[in-house]
Structure 1
Amino acid sequence: MTLHTNIPWTDLEIGMEAETTHTCRAEDFYVFANSSGNLNPMHLPKEDGDGDGKPEAVAPSMWMGALISGVLGNFLPGPGTLYKSQMLTFLGRAHAGDEITAKVRLLSKGEGNLATFETWVEQADGTRIAEGEAVVLAPERKVAIDIRDVPGLTVQTHAHFDRILARAEPLEPMPTAVVAPEDDASLGGALLAYRHTLLHPILVGCAKKIAAAAEEIGADLSGLEIVDIPDHSAASAQAVKMVHEGRAKALMKGNLHTDDLLRQVLKKVGGLRTNRRLSHVFVMDVPGLDHLLMVTDAAINIAPDLEEKVDIVQNAIYLAHALGIEMPKVGILSAVETVNPRIPSTIDAAVLSKMADRGQIKGGLVDGPLAMDNAIDLEAARTKGISSAVAGHAEILVVPNLEAGNMLAKELTFIAHAQAGGIVLGASCPIILTSRADDEQARLASCAVAVMMREWGRSRG
């Protein structure tokens, strides 16, 4: 039980002090912006509010004042306290990442249970950045309040993708054959990646449709190569040929059916096959989750058998390495967490786990079968009595079939507000496989992930 107790009026003594220390977070500033309506870009962590070319992320002054309110309401006098007045002078600024402390000291007691406090906020080195005086109505009775029922908040930011983008942008732009970028979404996504120096797109498709799409979004295609091939199958074949010629280092799907593109990739002669099967990985930045989450396979392999799942797992592990996860935790999902011969996916999961133990799957910690709850929630795993390095910490979720993966990824996107980027692995180059429903940020994330994958491949020789 989490209790907050107060100090009633009769027990208050002059000179009493209380304080709370808080690390300023970007999430705090977004919550304040939403609750107060103050959208001043000086306080929004990604915005450049004064035009100097970099974001300021200045802590809102009244948000700092609210920290003083927290000390008065939680500790001294505590629950039951009500404000009468608060005067503040702001002497300095705090920024995202700073540790600040709000303090109060009782100065006097007046009639009608009125208590006057000196109030201030200081930096970690003791420098005051705000000071003033508060008058509050102190509580008469001793109370203890259980605060477990206060709803939590999840801020819909995507810091994990921001970090991937920050790592990918300084790298050399990746020459990418974009197949049939013939509508505003697919062309816009490629050009967005171009502006972020992730890709150098080669536009392969119907030149008239590409030009019309560019006009619709007001884009200038000067300096970009356009290969005029109206037929989607032929355009896909030409893009694959460009990879063989070294002109392109990746493929990106535009406004065409996935089958038209992958049919050329999978050709035994002239395709982009390797010794591993193709599989798709959604890389997801889920608000409130402290790590990236990968879901595979949700787009290519409909009902993979055990042998196909081995490649699906290995492809995902390699992608995790490319994104900086040295030993990814892989949860093999099923409906239950115990092996049941009547549920084939539990058998596959157990075999995959043992194969990883024996080194047949390399570079990750693999465990299964796991149900969704005990794969990602440690308390759920403990409740079920599961002791595992993966349970409750899974970074890669391997689904039993495409239907389950597709539903899981879309539920995370549209209900949990996750941002999703996805690529196809197992070919001789990354394949950026976007959906018509993807927004610009999702397309940008897919491109950044592909760049990281290509860079990791180059580093391995």
Structure 2
Amino acid sequence: MLKTMSELITLSKSQPVKRLVVAVANDPYVLKAVEHARKDGLIAPTLVGDEPAILNELTLLGYDPKNYSIIHEDNPIEACLKATYCLRKGEGDILMKGLIDTSILLKAVLDKIYGIRGPRRLSHVTLLELKHYHKLLLLSDAAMNIAPDAELKKEIILNGVSVLHKIGIEKPNVGVIAAVEKVNPKMQATLDAQILIEDHIDPSYNIGGPFGLDNAINKEAALHKGVTDSMAGNVDFLLMPTIEAGNILYKALMFLSDAKSASVVCGATHPIVLTSRADSDETKYRSIALACLL
């Protein structure tokens, strides 16, 4: 089981080189992370987009274009389709978002002819290293699914659990997060927790809740509130109730608590690196490293 981002990167470096395809690649912040991952032996990059613009960015950054395969397409929508089609044809292992709106890239991902639609709904997961938690912690969904119901949360769980299995957690503890730790008919998140627990039959993970955030990650808080679930204070996966809750928690941890993170989109046939424009180069690099393990 991995406990730090350094361990995750070390494990990624031990894997075979993956083929990364960047859609609309003339983004200097993305290219910095891609070059870092290339130099560390994680990836062989293919850059799809306006070739003159890509070459200009590479030159400004001081990177040798010979280290990259470039596919020219000056139309951003078509560039996304060409990028996803590379993976569909077996010419890539990981897709990464460049200088393009997320909605346009995801439309290409879901395209019936060129895309990489998978068996489950797409969901965003973030792996976090926190100063005051004893292991890596997964958070979902902070960026895609706005107000998932219990059925969609089942798919989000499966996506997140698959990531945790890849980093060595054989039977993750999934904590269903709400504002309170008791079922309340007026609070849908607690009702969803009840449904998810009652319907749970999958032996590949444990599930508990509803948990307040405090008793999900802090054993003393759980004991103080009389929460007896054995996974209280030791969850591997925070299943957030809505996108607002997930997004606010993610940004609070990143900007106020100096967390280290790696984020991917799961549910397609290939992992997708889809980070925020505000994320640092290192966050983007770690996200590539995580995708290499998936």
Q: Tell me the TM-score range normalised by the shorter chain.
A: over 0.9
What's the CA shift for 1:440? 2.0
Letter in 2 for 1:426: G
Larger relative contact order (CA 8 Å, sep ≥ 6):
2
Q: Percent identity?
A: 35
Matches within 5 A, 1:141-290: 160-290=4-134
Structure label with greater radius of gyration? 1
Aligned partners of 2:286, 2:194: CA distance in 1, in Å?
Answer: 33
Aligned partners of 1:445, 1:389: CA distance in 2, in Å?
Answer: 31
Tell me whether 1:297 sits opposite 2:138 in the alignment: no
Tell me whether 1:438 sits opposite 2:282 in the alignment: no
Task: State the superposition RMSD in angstroms.
Answer: 1.4
What's the CA shift for 1:245? 1.1
Q: Kindly provide the CA deviation profile for residues 158-192 of structure 1, in whole angstroms up to 9, marking residues without a partner as x.
A: 97000011111021111111111212101111111
Query: Matched residue of 1:326: which SS?
Result: coil
| Aligned twin of 2:180 | 336
| Aligned twin of 1:379 | 220
What's the CA shift for 1:268? 3.5
| Aligned twin of 2:267 | 426
Structure with higher helix content: 2
Tell me whether 1:394 sits opposite 2:235 in the alignment: yes
| Aligned twin of 1:408 | 249
Counterpart contact for 2:133–2:217, Cα < 8 Å: no
What's the CA shift for 1:329? 0.9
What's the CA shift for 1:354? 2.1
Aligned partners of 1:247, 1:269: CA distance in 2, in Å?
Answer: 16
Counterpart contact for 1:279–1:296, Cα < 8 Å: yes
Letter in 2 for 1:293: L
Q: Kindly provide the CA deviation profile for residues 2-50 of structure 1, in whole angstroms up to 9, marking residues without a partner as x.
A: xxxxxxxxxxxxxxxxxxxxxxxxxxxxxxxxxxxxxxxxxxxxxxxxx
Query: Matched residue of 1:351: which SS?
Result: helix
Query: Matched residue of 1:222: which SS?
Result: helix
Cα gap change, 1:335/1:159 in structure 2, threshold over 3 Å: closer, same or farther?
closer
Query: 160, 163, 169: which one pairs with 1:319?
Result: 163
Counterpart contact for 1:365–1:389, Cα < 8 Å: no
- Runs of 4+ more than 2 Å apart: 267-271
TM (norm. structure 2) is 0.96
Counterpart contact for 1:169–1:196, Cα < 8 Å: yes
Q: Kindly provide the CA deviation profile for residues 116-168 of structure 1, in whole angstroms up to 9, marking residues without a partner as x.
A: xxxxxxxxxxxxxxxxxxxxxxxxxxxxxxxxxxxxxxxxxx97000011111
How many residues get paired? 293
**Which stretch shifts more, 216-225 or 378-387?**
216-225
TM (norm. structure 1) is 0.62
Structure with higher strand content: 1
Unaligned runs of 5+ in 1: 1-157, 454-461
What's the CA shift for 1:321? 0.4
